[in-house]
Structure 1
Amino acid sequence: MTQSASLHSLNPNTPHSQLTFANLSHMGLMSVTGEQGRTFMHGQVTTDISSLESHQWGWGAHCDPKGKMLASFRTFVVEDALFMMMPSDTLAVDLPQLAKYAVFSKVDLVDVTTDWIILGVAGEQAPTWIAEHFGEVNHPLTTISGGVLLKDEGRFIIIIKTASYEALTSSITQPIQDQSVWQALEIQAGYPNLAASHQGQFVPQMCNLQAINGISFKKGCYMGQETIARMKYRGGNKRALYILAGTSSQPLLVDSRLELALEDGFKKVGTIIEVVQSSEQVLLTAVLPNDTDNSSVLRVAGDENSTLHIQPLPYSLEDKD
């Protein structure tokens, strides 16, 4: 049974956070198969699909011809299939975009979300629990019975066939939390889980994809490459992904507006990418001007009592490639 948890429960000093399970029901899976499947995707996305090995997973983005993101995703290989994991609402609108070009290649693109269950495992005891149930995990991706296991620092994502899920949950003795718990961890990691409503708005560098190995500047041509490469080599990017935490009495959504405190008032600024809220406590990622000072104070538009402060990013914004 899925259970919601407060943002306070994510504090590493609370007992509950020592081992947390979360049902990632907000995430979807696309499979890419066929003789030219990997070649096709290599020419569509920012990451280097051709060199992706069976024990690896990586971030990437699918962009339009102008270099604006249609989706951000994790990608990995299971046997003969390439998988792309992204928010379900984004997958629903991104798959048809890819399919328009796939008709010219020997490739099958299928939404296989209902065939799999995605479970997140986090907390200080997560590595121990994983080792007890799946053995020692030495690679970013490990094949397990009925699925795969993705390792992301001290967190793990179990992607398992629906038919095998019941056997797995029989070994879990505590409530499985809902997606908001995992979203909070993804926000704290500075990850860019792009919602469908933000398609076509941001070049990948505006969401820090270059900082999490989501862009290859060494691979061949792909959709939107010219704009993305120009932004790297000629500059011009004026936005970046920030982590914000604070309070708001209003229910927040990704289309809620933010305001930046100035000496003489407030200025509307930025776009929320992902947000979680427990009572009045909020945690979110937002694209802001990249010259926004870390000491800046923001608030939610329409909520004069709200206060948001910028949190440190857990990575450098320098390119990894």
Structure 2
Amino acid sequence: MTDNRQIPSDRAFALSDHGVVALQGPDAVAFAQAQFANDLNALDDGRWQWNAWLTPKGRVIAVFAVLRVAADRLLLVLADMPPIELATALKRFVFRKKVTVDVPADLQVQGRFGPPEAAQGALMHVTGDQIELDVGSAHQPRTLRLSSHHVETDAAALARWRDIDLRHGLPRLEASQREQWTPQQLSLERLRAFSVKKGCYPGQEIVARTHFLGKAKRGLALLESDAVLIPGAPVEETGRNLGLVVCASTHVPGPVLAVLPLDHPPGDLHSASQALRQLTLLDGLAR
């Protein structure tokens, strides 16, 4: 389902709930490879991937895009978590590695509801002081840009961008939902955001065991509500608690992502006496 509120496709707006963290130095890729869940060694310069940082118990702290700008420079683009918070946490693990972790003051994250000029799929496009990413799908073309030329935000456009993320199964984790879910529970395999073969990283043993032993019993479900739901709210069926809301639209009617049993058949679901409609997650954001 595509949001049809009309916002000009050629107008860029600030994604004010997004931020950037930069990893710079000869050990930047090695550091990220040891910390993050996806395989950075399989990523060529000029390309990007979805990735995640996990706790040692395999719970997702943050989901973000990793841009391999060069062999010694990575950019992390993340939503909802302040970039300074992620940068500060990562610095605790640098030790003697030749890598700096900082928040670029000049880069603004911007969005546009239209196809990129040159970027395609996982291939990004760099021109001067701007980087362009294709973060759209056949259902909804979208362009994400990092630019030093700042633009204004647009509340309606920002809300629409978030709703599209949710409809495609890209979880938006506010503080209360960090360190609560495994990658499989958030269905991050749909985004190709983690690896079970690359070797050690925090939480890798739990992620691999869940994958190879077939123990993933829960995953993301897309619902729709006529009331604004709070992350962490229970999702119930005839008095039985089936799961929890992970993230939800800020307007109604709007999409809701919840973690539910994978084998749950369609039924009458509700949260806080509010009826929920079950929808099908859209594909197209995997990179």
Query: TM-score over 0.5 for the alignment?
Result: yes
Q: Which amino acid is the alignment partner of residue 67 of structure 2?
A: F
In 2, Cα distance between equivalents of 1:222 and 1:147: 31
**Residue 99 of structure 1 pairs with residue 99 of structure 2:** no
Question: In the alignment, which residue of structure 2 is the partner of 1:259?
Answer: 235
Once the two structures are TM-superposed, the CA of residue 270 in structure 1 deviates from its matched residue by 2.5
RMSD, aligned CA: 2.8
In 1, Cα distance between equivalents of 2:282 and 2:276: 18
- The structure that has the greater radius of gyration is 1
**Residue 29 of structure 1 pairs with residue 20 of structure 2:** yes
Q: Which of residues 98, 112, 125 is equivalent to 1:142?
A: 125
| Paired positions, count | 280
The answer as to whether partners of 2:270 and 2:276 remain within 8 angstroms in 1 is yes
**Residue 57 of structure 1 pairs with residue 48 of structure 2:** yes
Secondary structure of 1:270's aligned partner: strand
Show structure 2 runs of 5+ residues with no match: none
In 2, Cα distance between equivalents of 1:23 and 1:299: 34
Question: In the alignment, which residue of structure 2 is the partner of 1:110?
Answer: 102
Q: Which amino acid is the alignment partner of residue 144 of structure 2?
A: I
Question: In the alignment, which residue of structure 1 is the partner of 2:211?
Answer: 232
**Cα displacement string for residues 45-83 of structure 1 (whole angstroms, at most 9, x for unaligned residues):** 111112212332111111111111111111112244201
Measured at CA, do residues 138 and 268 of structure 1 come closer, stay the same or move farther in structure 2, by a change above 3 Å? closer
TM-score by length of 1: 0.78
Once the two structures are TM-superposed, the CA of residue 137 in structure 1 deviates from its matched residue by 3.6
Measured at CA, do residues 137 and 217 of structure 1 come closer, stay the same or move farther in structure 2, by a change above 3 Å? same
In 1, Cα distance between equivalents of 2:8 and 2:197: 40
In 2, Cα distance between equivalents of 1:288 and 1:269: 6
**Cα displacement string for residues 105-151 of structure 1 (whole angstroms, at most 9, x for unaligned residues):** 22111123x422212122xxx23xx43xxxx4445311123121011
**Cα displacement string for residues 217-239 of structure 1 (whole angstroms, at most 9, x for unaligned residues):** 23122111111100110121221
Q: Which of residues 267, 272, 279 is equivalent to 1:296?
A: 267
The answer as to whether partners of 2:26 and 2:99 remain within 8 angstroms in 1 is yes
Q: Which amino acid is the alignment partner of residue 230 of structure 1?
A: R
Once the two structures are TM-superposed, the CA of residue 196 in structure 1 deviates from its matched residue by 2.6
Question: In the alignment, which residue of structure 1 is the partner of 2:147?
Answer: 160
Secondary structure of 1:230's aligned partner: helix
The answer as to whether partners of 1:22 and 1:176 remain within 8 angstroms in 2 is no
The answer as to whether partners of 2:225 and 2:256 remain within 8 angstroms in 1 is no
Once the two structures are TM-superposed, the CA of residue 15 in structure 1 deviates from its matched residue by 5.0
Question: In the alignment, which residue of structure 2 is the partner of 1:172?
Answer: none
Once the two structures are TM-superposed, the CA of residue 289 in structure 1 deviates from its matched residue by 2.2
Give 1:70-85 correspondences, 5 Å limit.
Answer: 70-79=61-70, 80-85=72-77
Moved more, 142-151 or 85-94: 85-94
Q: Which amino acid is the alignment partner of residue 291 of structure 1?
A: D
Moved more, 19-28 or 212-221: 19-28
Measured at CA, do residues 96 and 197 of structure 1 come closer, stay the same or move farther in structure 2, by a change above 3 Å? farther
Measured at CA, do residues 312 and 158 of structure 1 come closer, stay the same or move farther in structure 2, by a change above 3 Å? same
In 2, Cα distance between equivalents of 1:15 and 1:73: 27
**Residue 282 of structure 1 pairs with residue 254 of structure 2:** yes
Question: In the alignment, which residue of structure 1 is the partner of 2:164?
Answer: 185
Q: Which of residues 151, 156, 176 is equivalent to 1:197?
A: 176
Q: Which amino acid is the alignment partner of residue 72 of structure 1?
A: V
Question: In the alignment, which residue of structure 1 is the partner of 2:3?
Answer: 10
The answer as to whether partners of 2:7 and 2:157 remain within 8 angstroms in 1 is no
Once the two structures are TM-superposed, the CA of residue 93 in structure 1 deviates from its matched residue by 3.9
Measured at CA, do residues 308 and 300 of structure 1 come closer, stay the same or move farther in structure 2, by a change above 3 Å? same
Aligned sequence identity (%)? 23
Secondary structure of 2:249's aligned partner: strand
In 2, Cα distance between equivalents of 1:252 and 1:218: 37
TM-score by length of 2: 0.86
**Cα displacement string for residues 267-296 of structure 1 (whole angstroms, at most 9, x for unaligned residues):** 334232222132x42322122222222x22
The answer as to whether partners of 1:298 and 1:308 remain within 8 angstroms in 2 is yes
In 1, Cα distance between equivalents of 2:169 and 2:92: 31
